Structure 1
Amino acid sequence: MNRTPHTLLINPTITSRSSARFPLSLLHLSAALDRQGSSEILDGNIDRDLVNETLRRMEQGKFDAVGISVMGGPQMAPSIEVSQALRKHFPSVPIIWGGYFPTLYTDTALAAPYVDYAIRGQGEESLPELVAALGKPEHALANIGGLSWKSGDTIVHNPSRRISLGDTGLVLPYDKLGDPRRYLASTFLGRRTAAHQAAIGCRFRCTFCGVAAMFGGTTILPAATRLERELSYLKYELGADSIQFFDHNFFDREEDMIPLLEVMAKLELPWWCYARSDALLKLSESSWKLVRKSRLKMAYIGAESPSGQMLKEIRKGTRPDQTLQVAELCRRHGVVPELSFMVAPPQNTEDETAQTFEFIRELKRINPESEIIVYIYTPLPESSRHEKDRGKRASTPLLDLNGEPVVFPRTPEEWTQPQWVNYACHADAPWLSDKLRQHIRDFVTVLRCRFPTVQDLRSPPWAKRSLSAMAAWRYRHRRYDRPWELNLANRLVKLRMPQVSGL
């Protein structure tokens, strides 16, 4: 009698325990695996001794494979550590990497001796098919969409798989996380904020975006019945009082959004989501009425740049004037716009940065409640773009500060080096001078002290008011450089930085 496959799914540590949110990708994978087998979930954000806990689980139960969800940046080192431990102590168990990093850097992931398979993009169909094919002749792997694998010394990339949003009629297996209520966090949205993802993908093709690279300009929205079932479980069974949507872009075409907004208006759970300025500007007044009733509190909007030319080059599809308009629109409807910008691009680095700083000041004049997130522009290498977009338009080679071509890491270990962790986190780039790097940090310090984020629940109100007053003269007179007094005060107050910690 054949035994059904048993899979261990691992989310390597990336946050503090207090910042842990539902590992949604693993919950979806677990639900898919359990149709023809069984699975367990190990979340390194909760189980802090990840390697020893992994080895303990492996010793207790017979697993046919281990799937590891891997992001770039700070999650690389724990991903490598747990993979190496598995290879050392359980050398015959296949190790499968999936998620953002192996999708964008597939050959780099498979260059590691501790990675046997990589799943590109969505894994709910590919992973169960792979687990079922393990131990069978090699040709059984050939028809698994989205799979990359090693055949001797050769890496084989199977054709990509179309994304889908299947619905079993059930909620996700939250019980596999132990007590799922420990993932409900106190945020500015509510005392018990739950993370949730309704739609997947994004129909836009921004050249810098990992979502576009993973999904190739495709998005799928859920049925309203599914959204209501899932959110009702979070609200009535787990006690969630607010929702942070991890959708790659929540607002899409208005006619498709109305049924979803009606569900949100019915449940009245304060919420946060990603959005686009053009989508919000196209909403009718009746849809905005639903938005207000649903209690949307904040929308994260990728403004990116005040340069129309740059927005065109990165295929953003929006205009600078729309960013200004959406700041005013959100003000009228009581929604806080959280606007992100990418400064210091490889070309016109200093001029683009200076223009962005002035544009941010204009936004704050239009809507002082606007939240501003500043990142360094760190584009994806050509090889990481979606296959539909590679080579379509000539891209200017990336050069470092010395005019030499930027060479991206070729192994997972190289991606753990500080400069590449910072690159993956949009915190630094090889073409930045020390002077500009410091100038950006100083501007951000003055800005966040002058306008402390509403998301900061830890710092006492008197401290935030004091820092705002201290920073007022610098902000008014554009005296950003060397804000020593603000840096000193920040050591005591430690204002929250949304670009680092999110909600």
Structure 2
Amino acid sequence: MSKSPHTLLINPTITTRSASARFPLSLLHLSAALDKQGSSEILDGNVDRDLIAATLRKMEDGQFDAVGVSVMGGPQIAPAIDVSKAIRERFPRVPIIWGGYFPTLHTNTALAAPYVDYAIRGQGEESLPELLNALRQPVPALAHIGGLSWRNGDSIVHNPSRRFSMHEHGAVLPYHKLGDPRRYLARTFLGRRTAAHQAAIGCRFHCTFCGVAAMFGGITMLPAAERLERDLRYLKYELGADSVLYFDNNFFDREEDMIPLLEVMARLEMPWWCFARSDSLLRLSESTWKLVRKSRLKMAYIGAESPNSQMLKEIRKGTRPDQTLQVTELCRRHGVIPELSFMVAPPEDTEAETEHSFEFIRELKRVNPETEIVIYIYTPLPESARHEKDRAKRPGRPLLDLHGEPIQFPQTPEEWTQKHWVDYYCHADAPWLTDKLRQRIHDFVTVLRCRFPTVQDLRSPPWAKLSLSAMATWRYRFRRYDRPWELNLANRLVQLRMPQVTGL
């Protein structure tokens, strides 16, 4: 056994091509924490496309005390299963630890798998090093490790949750462990070499449908301005990044806390994209908006969710439809493109609420034609996946399928890999949708995205986008969404980019 823990961290494949890979930020943070007491290596399946072969080669070349696998729900579950099974078969004595959103929200499901030994819920920068040190003892003492879930015989033990914290590593993240980190810089509408970065963690809101709320429980941690400047200067001057995608779960928090960060960003002037809320943007003063403009914010992804005020209250969104309208106008005046996401087809009043959303989207387009629209199916989290504090305060309603039967969610990771459950996790389908409504939504999205091609699409030539927009004009004007055969045919030749599928 090595003198200090040596850990392999794995990011299973989730992108369709390596060019879409972004920095595996969670593993970079974990690696920085692990290296304080030991050492770690990173394998990214989005770059190493034959992940299983790359994993087995690395494990044969070096002795690892444990393997940590980061797992999101949806399409990342299947490759996480495959690589975990391969490790268990070839190296049966090496502990396999799952972390990330999936084991946090579905802990018992993850630990139902024989190839998962431990699950870390929430933040892992403290829990994982403590677990590795405990496993090196003759009799591991596990009960004191916050955020850890583990099997004790036939039962599963959930240790108390650990409070989130903003860890300061004292230096930039260990990007060198990714090989050449410049290969993660992508050409986007923001710039030729766009980097992914996360400044703050968490979100202080409690939206009942959101995995972020379920994971963080209403906590937000913002970085010091000095840390943000250090990180951005490294990305810009060392790696050559010219723009930034901020993967903060909600970038604009309280204005007084944001000003020091915006001042840093205004000095560096790297065009950026972020997640935001309509109410937060509406509260910004004119002087802060001046900083926002100088920092070169180009697009803000805003969860509009629904035009129904009552639904927004029920899901604890904390915003109103009139604020969505106001923020589209506000963004227009400040030169920022609002990218609004909607959740259509809720379990109750499914068809009426969907048509209401379609009409509201048209109104938003009249207010600001540059508004980008992203449409998802409303697929709430299983009750067991919601944060413990929120479950206690407001129990969710039972979810019923198309036949009025209670929905039975998967109990194993393998069940979550079935297409209809992957679609559920990706907000692409729901058990209560009729074939007619499913087609209606698809047709509306087809007409909308052809009529208003996204500015994020850099692959389709301008003439093609203009042609599709012209073809879709009459359908959009007269609300003739059904069976847009000519648009479907044209899309075979010009495959327009879909932000809800590809993302930035």
Same fold, TM exceeding 0.5?
yes
Deviations 1:274-303 (A, max 9, x none): 000000000000000000000000000000
Aligned to 1:198: 199
Q: Secondary structure at the match of 1:389?
A: helix
Aligned to 1:56: 57
Aligned to 1:472: 473
Aligned to 2:12: 12
Deviations 1:297-344 (A, max 9, x none): 000000000000000000000000000000000000000000000000
Aligned to 1:208: 209
Q: Secondary structure at the match of 2:480?
A: coil
| Inter-partner Cα distance in structure 1 for 2:61 and 2:170 | 32
Q: Stretches of 4+ moved more than 3 A in 1?
A: none
RMSD, aligned α-carbons: 0.8
Residue 94 of structure 1 aligns to which amino acid in structure 2? P
TM superposition shift of 1:2:
6.4
Residue 201 of structure 1 aligns to which amino acid in structure 2? G
Residue 90 of structure 1 aligns to which amino acid in structure 2? F
| Inter-partner Cα distance in structure 1 for 2:123 and 2:358 | 37
Aligned to 2:148: 147
Q: Secondary structure at the match of 2:256?
A: helix
Deviations 1:354-396 (A, max 9, x none): 0000000000000000000000000001110111111322422
| Inter-partner Cα distance in structure 1 for 2:396 and 2:97 | 32
TM superposition shift of 1:137:
5.2
Alignment partner of 1:437 is 2:457: no
Aligned to 1:378: 379
Residue 175 of structure 2 aligns to which amino acid in structure 1? Y
Deviations 1:411-466 (A, max 9, x none): 00000000000000000000000000000000000000000000000000000000
Residue 9 of structure 1 aligns to which amino acid in structure 2? L
Aligned to 2:405: 404
The 5 A counterparts of 1:257-268 are 257-268=258-269
Structure 1 segments unaligned to the other structure (5+ residues): none
Contact 2:33 2:169 in 1 (8 A): no
The 5 A counterparts of 1:177-256 are 177-256=178-257
| Inter-partner Cα distance in structure 2 for 1:449 and 1:391 | 44
Residue 301 of structure 1 aligns to which amino acid in structure 2? I
Deviations 1:16-47 (A, max 9, x none): 10100000000000000000000000000000
Alignment partner of 1:30 is 2:24: no
TM superposition shift of 1:474:
0.3
| Inter-partner Cα distance in structure 1 for 2:76 and 2:382 | 20
Quick one: percent identity of the two aligned structures?
Answer: 81
Aligned to 2:308: 307
Structure 2 segments unaligned to the other structure (5+ residues): none
Aligned to 2:415: 414
Deviations 1:446-490 (A, max 9, x none): 000000000000000000000000000000000001001001101
* 1:296/1:494 CA distance change after superposition, 3 Å: same
Residue 445 of structure 2 aligns to which amino acid in structure 1? V
| Inter-partner Cα distance in structure 2 for 1:394 and 1:477 | 42
Residue 3 of structure 2 aligns to which amino acid in structure 1? R
Q: Secondary structure at the match of 2:358?
A: helix
TM-score (norm 2): 0.99
TM superposition shift of 1:168:
2.4
Alignment partner of 1:281 is 2:263: no
**Equivalent residues, number:** 503
| Inter-partner Cα distance in structure 1 for 2:169 and 2:420 | 43
| Inter-partner Cα distance in structure 1 for 2:231 and 2:395 | 44
